[in-house]
């Protein structure tokens, strides 16, 4: 019952918010009640929920829920980001129409994501995965412009198409499974059937990895991310990048580590091609982000790259790679969730959507730019932030790989991507705080800024009085919370890694 309560509470509140004619104050109070009740029951489900079967379609085919260590880990990340983004959205969505519909689908998609984290087998996971796609698509569609409709359609087609590829793998894994189809460390395959159907099973598992990886932006199924993020409202972009895309990561973990088993894939062509695709996606996403000038689109390409850090760690099929991937999932939730909120502040307060319009922005928005800086440093991998801890574990796992090619290439790709990440994130902060760039001098810096303003129509904040344009606490506090999470996940990264090592015991044996 705790699992169902975790879903039905936000879903019911979401329906009420969407259909009732409420004032802004009533909508906010109802949404706050929903999020706090969901946090409570979600925590109780993670702590005390056992195995629960809702429906049985056939022997071994059921809708079942169970909270294990991996599910609890992702559940906490879901609740953290949704709770922070809700308060931010209270102010940001004032400039949008149809606020009630936004918060309705916000809450319903929260319930769907909680179901994804607590799914007990592949059938349940697939159904919840699809439900999360359907309930989050309206967040992209929200503005109802021609561009928003096209972006939502692309998100829907990519996600459903990827899920159908995943379904092919799910069918064949069930065909080769033993009597128990609930997720189990090391997999659920029947050794005899798995051996007899090895080549077909390997091919369909690879197809499923690419399919579920569509949600996480794995090449060549990454196209929806840079289309959907610039169109969606900033709170929706934060959720899509920070946690909804990680439904694909969780689906791959459940397929590989808890259904097929890492031992079955270790040393096969599936592992090699998966690793190559992940490294290609990391490099491609970083390069595209480096060249992009639209702030949210740059962050979308960055998401493609950063999520493939996790996929690369998973492709190692070792405990170290899995722990590094999970640590990077937490680091990315905090950092990228905050970066999209910062980008939303630039849009909401100043109408600025391009990175080259933000020169001197630190003079009028110092808090927002400091939050941007902390999150950027985490993604680059600077200690003591969370991104450093996760990349350290990923690099060590890569160096320990039995595959000599991966042992050499993986640390090199991680280092190259970190340099590119610094190249597309840190200049925003440097130009924001120090508009007179080093080497130009004060007068030359002002002259260059004035020339840019004349030629490009950009506003320069270097000469503006230091009067704050920061938003209210509803937007500032969520950014501060996520920035603090980037720091805390780094400081306590060792303890988190030790916890993950305990809950993953036997998974990679």
Looking at residue 461, its pLDDT comes to 55
Kindly report the pTM of this predicted structure: 0.91
pLDDT of residue 451: 46
Same domain, 352 and 450: yes
325, two tokens: 């991937």
Do residues 388 and 381 make contact, with C-beta atoms less than 8 angstroms apart? yes
Cα 186 to Cα 82, 164, 214, distances in angstroms: 31, 24, 24
The CA distance from 253 to 247, in Å, is: 10
* Residue whose C-alpha is closest to residue 126's, from 169, 88, 86, 155: 169
| Eight-class DSSP state of 356 | G
* Structure-block tokens of residue 464: 């503006």
Q: Report CA torsion sign: 282, 283, 286, 289.
A: negative
Backbone angles phi, psi at 285, to 5 degrees: -60, -40
Q: How far apart are CA 502 and CA 394, in angstroms?
A: 18
Instruction: Compute the distance between CA of residue 426 and CA of residue 420 in angstroms, rounded to an integer.
Output: 10
Whether 278 and 254 map to the same domain: the answer is no
Task: Based on the fold, state whether residues 308 and 223 are members of the same structural domain.
Answer: no
Residues 233 and 374 in one domain: no
Locus of tokens 């899509």: 240
Write the DSSP string, 409-457: HHHHHHHHHHHHHHHHHHHHHHHHH-SS-TTTHHHHHHHHHHHHHHHH-
Distances (CA, A) of 275 to 158, 321, 507: 22, 12, 20
> Taking a C-beta distance cutoff of 8 angstroms, is the pair 319, 229 a contact?
no
Query: CA-based angle 184:190:191, to the nearest 5?
Result: 110
Last residue of a domain, which of 245, 265, 285? 265
**Cβ neighbours for 492, distance < 8 A, ≥ 6 positions apart:** none
Segment-wise mean pLDDT, segments of 10 residues, the chain, 509 residues: 78 88 87 91 80 81 87 93 94 83 92 92 92 91 85 89 92 88 88 90 94 87 82 90 92 93 90 92 91 90 92 92 94 94 91 87 90 94 92 90 80 89 91 69 45 45 57 91 94 91 80
The verdict on 325 and 217 lying in the same domain is: no
Residue 429 and residue 361: Cα distance in Å, rounded? 9
Same-domain pairing of 475 and 345: yes
- Identify the domain boundary among 265, 281, 304: 265
Check: CB of residue 287 under 8 Å from CB of residue 420.
Answer: yes
How is residue 120 written in tokens? Answer: 């007990």
Domain with 486 in it: 270-509
Cα gap 333→82, rounded to integer Å: 10
Write the DSSP symbol of residue 50. -
Q: CA-to-CA distance for 473 and 480, rounded, in angstroms?
A: 10
Say if residue 108 is in the same domain as residue 254: yes
pLDDT of residue 455: 40
Same domain for 276 and 251: no
Q: Distance of CA 318 to CAs 66, 74, 202, 381, 460, Å?
A: 24, 19, 18, 22, 50
The predicted structure's pLDDT at residue 1: 62
User: Are 12 and 74 part of one and the same domain?
Assistant: yes
- Verify that 283 and 252 share a domain, yes or no: no
Paired strand residues for 65: 52, 119
Is residue 65 helix, strand or coil? strand
Is the preceding omega at residue 220 within 30 degrees of 0, hence cis? Answer: yes
The angle at the Cα of 321, spanning 180 to 491, to the nearest 5 degrees, equals: 115
Distances (CA, A) of 15 to 22, 147, 380, 505: 12, 26, 40, 41
Give the burial class of 197: count Cβ atoms within 10 A of its Cβ; 0-12 exposed, 13-18 middle, 19 or more buried.
middle
Under a CB-based contact definition with an 8 Å cutoff, are residues 232 and 245 in contact? no
Cis peptide preceding 474, ω within 30 of 0? no
Domain count, the chain: 2
Length of the chain: 509
Helix (H) or strand (E) holding 363: none
Same domain, yes or no, for 179 and 40? yes
Same structural domain, 25 and 99 = yes
Residue that terminates a domain, selected from 225, 243, 265: 265
Grouping H, G, I as helix, E, B as strand and the rest as coil, residue 504 is coil
Q: Which H or E run contains 62?
A: strand 61-65
Separation between Cα atoms, residue 65 and residue 51, nearest integer Å? 6
* DSSP at 54: E
CB 303 within 8 A of CB 336: yes
| Distance between CA atoms of residues 486 and 103, nearest Å | 26
């Amino acid at each position: 019952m705790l699992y169902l309560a975790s879903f039905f509470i936000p879903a019911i509140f979401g329906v009420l918010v969407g259909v009732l004619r409420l004032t802004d104050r009533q909508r906010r109070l109802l949404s706050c009640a929903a999020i706090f009740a969901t946090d409570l029951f979600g925590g109780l489900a993670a702590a005390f929920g056992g195995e629960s079967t809702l429906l049985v379609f056939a022997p071994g085919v059921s809708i079942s829920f169970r909270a294990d260590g991996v599910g609890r880990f992702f559940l906490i990340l879901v609740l953290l980001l949704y709770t922070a983004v809700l308060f931010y959205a209270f102010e940001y969505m004032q400039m949008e129409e149809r606020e009630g519909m936004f918060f309705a689908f916000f809450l319903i998609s929260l319930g769907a994501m909680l179901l994804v984290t607590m799914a007990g087998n592949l059938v349940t996971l697939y159904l919840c995965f699809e439900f999360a796609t359907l309930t989050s698509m309206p967040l992209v569609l929200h503005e109802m412009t021609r561009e928003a409709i096209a972006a939502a359609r692309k998100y829907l087609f990519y996600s459903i198409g990827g899920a159908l590829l995943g379904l092919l793998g799910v069918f064949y894994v069930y065909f080769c499974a033993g009597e128990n189809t609930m997720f189990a460390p090391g997999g659920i395959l029947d050794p005899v059937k798995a051996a007899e159907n090895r080549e077909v099973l390997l091919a369909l598992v690879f197809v499923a990895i690419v399919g579920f990886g569509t949600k996480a932006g794995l090449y060549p199924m990454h196209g929806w991310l840079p289309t959907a993020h610039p169109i969606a409202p900033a709170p929706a972009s934060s959720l899509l990048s920070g946690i909804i895309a990680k439904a694909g990561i969780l689906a791959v973990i459940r397929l590989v580590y808890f259904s097929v088993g890492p031992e079955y894939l270790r040393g096969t062509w599936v592992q090699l091609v998966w690793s190559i695709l992940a490294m290609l996606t990391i490099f491609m996403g970083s390069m595209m982000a480096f060249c992009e000038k639209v702030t949210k689109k740059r962050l979308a390409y960055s998401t493609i790259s950063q999520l493939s850090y996790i996929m690369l760690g998973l492709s190692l099929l070792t405990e170290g790679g899995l722990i590094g991937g999970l640590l990077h999932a937490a680091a990315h939730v905090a950092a990228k969730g905050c970066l999209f909120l910062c980008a939303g502040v630039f849009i909401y307060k100043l109408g600025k959507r391009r990175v080259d319009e933000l020169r001197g922005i630190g003079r009028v928005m110092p808090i927002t730019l400091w939050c941007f800086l902390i999150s950027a440093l985490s993604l680059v991998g600077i200690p003591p932030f969370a991104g450093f801890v996760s990349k350290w574990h990923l690099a060590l796992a890569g160096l320990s790989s039995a595959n000599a090619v991966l042992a050499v290439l993986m640390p090199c790709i991680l280092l190259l991507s970190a340099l590119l990440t610094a190249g597309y994130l840190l200049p925003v902060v440097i130009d924001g705080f120090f508009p007179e760039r080093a080497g130009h001098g004060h007068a030359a810096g002002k002259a260059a800024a004035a020339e840019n303003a004349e030629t490009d129509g950009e506003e320069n904040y270097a000469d503006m009085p230091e009067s704050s344009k920061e938003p209210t606490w509803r937007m500032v506090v969520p950014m501060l919370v996520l920035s603090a999470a980037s720091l805390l996940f780094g400081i306590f990264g060792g303890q988190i890694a030790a916890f993950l090592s305990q809950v993953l015991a036997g998974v990679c044996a």
